[in-house]
Structure 1
Amino acid sequence: MKKRINFYRYIFHIILLLACFEARASLTSDQLAAKEKGIELYDQFKAISALPYLQISADAGDDEAQYYLGEAIRKNRKFIDNDAKTAYEKSAKQGNIYSMIRLGRMDEDLCVNMAKCPKSEKTAKEWLAHAESLANKQAGQGNAESMYLLYEITGKNQWLEKSAENGYPLAQYLLATEYQEGGGFFVLPSSRTDVIERWMKASAENGYPRAMSGIAAILVERKDAANARAWVERAAATGYVEALFNYGYYLAGKNSEFGFSADYVKSYALLSLFLELDGGGGAKEDAEYVISKIKTEMSKSQLDEAEIFAANWKKTHPALSFFPFKLSR
């Protein structure tokens, strides 16, 4: 009897391993394209449009797509319902710490006030404990992102600092902004300023668009307009909505601090890209307002030139993105 029980256990574990392998199987090119499109739309605040694309890659077993699917559903319905919970759980079972944290925060979700929280396979406390255990293991192996996730789980600044020191761009940016907002202790105000600039620059150099805009603002405040302009242009080239809008706005002859020369063709072209942002965030409306002002100063040939410039920009640059925090706050 004991041998038979062990045999069944062995079969069970084999089936479990096969199921996990299937869930983590590589995406086909079409499934990967669907995932990328879904995340692109989600990052443009078009969560409803993102759903069918994310569903394709989530159904194929991709844990990140499952997480984003849960996020898109939650954003659409304003709370974690059963569909969102199911997507998070599928992702969490594959070791996705972001999904574990989201499930671990379910007792803070709007569903509590609505008395509509779906029953999860673990309690919120258990999911957070699981997330912390896994993140600790990965952090011990030098994973800087997991160090940041431990900061999110525990609220302990030491993890944010460790993550920043180990080169995670988001942690470097968050540390800089925390110091900007008065966090930390510095004997001299100049010391605080130096540390803020150091971490903001480190994050920007590591490719984080929000930090690129942040270091540009710091530099223009220091009257270093040339380097500030360079960072504005680098941030705009990433597709970061705020940075690209600012760049287009400055090219319209606004804000002389940065020292951009007015270029209505380029300004109109860049701002016209925002007309597709109908998912929220206010960028479309702001762009329409500026465009309406500069259009009156432009000739037909300039408008045609702007249209060509905009089309070429779209072909050669990343899609527009608000770059929302993956673990939205």
Structure 2
Amino acid sequence: MKIKAFFTVFLLMIMAGCVWAEKLTPAQEIAKSHGITLYNQYKDGEPYLRIAAVAGDREAQYYLAEDLRHTARYMTAEAEKWYTAAANQGDYYAMYQLSGKGSDLCNVMGNCPAGTKTAGEWLLQGRETAKALADKGDAEAMYVLHFLTNKDEWLEKSVAAGYPKAQWYLATMYREGKGFFIFPGRRSDRIKELFKGSAEGGYPPAMLEYAGILRSEGNRDEGWRWIKKGAEAGNAAIFSDYAYSYSDAENRWGTPVDYVKSYGLMSLLLELNGGGGMQVFVEGELPRIARHLTSEEIEEAKKIGVDWKAAHPPLSFFPDKLGF
């Protein structure tokens, strides 16, 4: 009877998906990738993320929990379940989210789901997990440790280690007045240095910031180069500026008008389907651009859009993984 019971449980685990699965199947990988793409476009990736999460993928479990929490606007029982699954596999982002559950809306409402650990215990485990990696030189762990400890030294260490997200974040903090600089001009110089380092490290949101600084200094050509790089990286905000500029003769980058290219690229923004409030902007601009085109040119523009999509990553708003 014990053997029969064992195989019954084993079969149920296979059907449900083992939470410690080591490798996803190709179909599960595709579902996970598509789910994260949708999440990054502020659209519902839950059905796809669930496929990989049930199969035991730690990252998918985290993003599924994020999707569920954002949809409900508080820590639901199911969101906590998936955060916990990810945290039990060593995900310090999930530990960070679980460490704040005591102050969430559900605590005020008195309906927080019971967990295996308290928020304080998750906070301690998150610190220990991230620090063990930070001590080995993991710059991303240093960045998250800054939020787990509220100690600026970890942010500074992450910046020194060259983590692009940390460089971008510290630059935004300095721009908002954080920190002390003896010479007034040194603050703006440091902000530029940080955005430049982050942009060169491949972080698209910093590319937009750095491009703006270059333009304000009169270096439009170099600024435009970074706008192009940001668009090629899939940053939706930069991409919309890039695509729009080709249809505006007085655009701020001095780019020559190319209505065909502008129409083809702007059309890709329709795929965001309203995510991030882009739909109204695009639906207003496309008819204006189309008035400058023949039917043949519109067909040519559509091909430009198809070719761009095939050669570049999906558009993304690059939401913060910490889910602020």
TM-score, L = length of structure 2: 0.91
Measured against aligned partners, the alpha-carbon deviations of 1:123-143 in whole angstroms (never above 9, x if no partner) come to: 111111110111111111111
Cα distance in 2, alignment partners of residues 223 and 110 from structure 1: 48
Cα distance in 2, alignment partners of residues 156 and 290 from structure 1: 46
Cα distance in 2, alignment partners of residues 82 and 298 from structure 1: 53
- In the alignment, which of 23, 43, 55 is matched to residue 26 of structure 1? 23
Is residue 249 of structure 2 the alignment partner of residue 260 of structure 1?
no
- The answer to whether the Cα contact below 8 Å between 2:274 and 2:280 also exists between their aligned partners in 1 is no
- 1:22 CA displacement: 7.0
Is residue 291 of structure 2 the alignment partner of residue 317 of structure 1?
no
- 1:154 CA displacement: 1.7
- In the alignment, which of 180, 187, 190 is matched to residue 185 of structure 2? 190
Question: In the alignment, residue 93 of structure 1 is paired with which amino acid?
Answer: N
- The answer to whether the Cα contact below 8 Å between 1:272 and 1:287 also exists between their aligned partners in 2 is yes
- 1:278 CA displacement: 2.1
What's the counterpart of residue 38 of structure 1? 35
SS in 2 for 1:306: helix
What's the counterpart of residue 113 of structure 1? 108
Cα distance in 2, alignment partners of residues 249 and 260 from structure 1: 10
Assess, with a 3 A threshold, how the Cα gap between structure 1 residues 67 and 279 changes in structure 2: closer, same or farther. farther
Assess, with a 3 A threshold, how the Cα gap between structure 1 residues 74 and 262 changes in structure 2: closer, same or farther. same
- In the alignment, which of 256, 266, 272 is matched to residue 271 of structure 1? 266
- 1:84 CA displacement: 0.6
Is residue 68 of structure 2 the alignment partner of residue 73 of structure 1?
yes
- In the alignment, which of 86, 103, 107 is matched to residue 81 of structure 2? 86
TM-score, L = length of structure 1: 0.90
- In the alignment, which of 293, 299, 307 is matched to residue 304 of structure 1? 299
Assess, with a 3 A threshold, how the Cα gap between structure 1 residues 22 and 85 changes in structure 2: closer, same or farther. closer
Cα distance in 1, alignment partners of residues 185 and 176 from structure 2: 15
- The answer to whether the Cα contact below 8 Å between 2:19 and 2:85 also exists between their aligned partners in 1 is no
What's the counterpart of residue 141 of structure 1? 136
Cα distance in 1, alignment partners of residues 285 and 292 from structure 2: 12
- The answer to whether the Cα contact below 8 Å between 2:236 and 2:315 also exists between their aligned partners in 1 is yes
SS in 1 for 2:275: coil
Aligned length: 307
- The answer to whether the Cα contact below 8 Å between 1:44 and 1:279 also exists between their aligned partners in 2 is no
- The percentage of aligned residue pairs carrying the same residue is 42
SS in 2 for 1:324: coil
Bigger CA drift: 312-321 or 273-282? 273-282
Q: Segments of 4+ in structure 1 off by > 4 A?
A: none
Cα distance in 2, alignment partners of residues 303 and 100 from structure 1: 50
Question: In the alignment, residue 25 of structure 1 is paired with which amino acid?
Answer: E
What's the counterpart of residue 101 of structure 1? 96
Bigger CA drift: 141-150 or 108-117? 108-117
- In the alignment, which of 123, 127, 142 is matched to residue 128 of structure 1? 123
What's the counterpart of residue 203 of structure 1? 198
What's the counterpart of residue 9 of structure 1? none
Q: Which runs of 5+ in 2 are unaligned?
A: 1-17
Is residue 238 of structure 2 the alignment partner of residue 243 of structure 1?
yes
Question: In the alignment, residue 155 of structure 1 is paired with which amino acid?
Answer: N
Q: Which runs of 5+ in 1 are unaligned?
A: 1-20
